[in-house]
Amino acid sequence: MYFIFVNCLITSFFNTQDNISDLKAQIAANQKGIQLVSELIDSYGLDVVQAYMGFIQKNAEVGVREMLKEIGREVEARTGRSVLEAEDFMDDGSRIKLKVEIDNELGSAVLDFSGTGPQVRTYMYSRNEGFILSFLRSFRDLAFD
């Protein structure tokens, strides 16, 4: 227990300035977003802004579903099933296991993390630069390509 506590302190110590800078950037981005949305509401009214937010969300959903259908069909053609699986380990040895089952008809996916190690409370990363984050970000990137 003592080792884990000291490790957290050391990790936090070395990253404190980076953490503070990241938080400041996030706060600034949120403040700018608040300002811009407020300007839109002032110009067009809340109902119009909310309607367009709904249109944007629906468009994003359609894009992601079409992308999942395409990926699912390609994976099924190569492997006989619409399933992607990956496993990696964080710096401390904790396992990250991911299975993605794609429904080619609906364009939906179930992400199953069964077999993944327990949540860790440190700043550890997987060796492959966080393949889960990369995978999830690729959903976004592919959908808007």
pLDDT band of 123, cuts 50, 70, 90? low
DSSP codes joined into one string, 19-84: HHHHHHHHHHHHHHHHHHHHHHHHHH-HHHHHHHHHHHHHHHHHHHHHHHHHHHHHHHHHHSSSEE
What pLDDT is recorded for position 125?
A: 53
**pLDDT of residue 124 exceeding 60:** no
**DSSP SS3 for 113:** coil
List the chain domain ranges: 29-143
Structure tokens at 134: 């990369």
Grade residue 138 by pLDDT with cuts at 50, 70 and 90.
Answer: low
Bridge partners of residue 143, in order along the sequence: none
Locus of tokens 């609906």? 106
pLDDT confidence of residue 5: 38
* Burial environment of residue 95 by CB neighbours within 10 A (0 to 12, 13 to 18, 19 or more): middle
Mean pLDDT, rounded, of the chain? 80
Give the C-alpha separation, 88 to 95, whole Å. 6
- In this predicted structure, the answer to whether residue 72 has a pLDDT above a threshold of 90 is yes
What integer pLDDT is reported at residue 49 of this predicted model? 97
* pTM reported for the whole predicted model: 0.65
Average pLDDT rounded to a whole number, residues 99-113: 92
Highest mean pLDDT among 36-40, 58-62, 66-70: 36-40
CA distance 112 to 107: 16
More confident residue, 125 or 108: 108
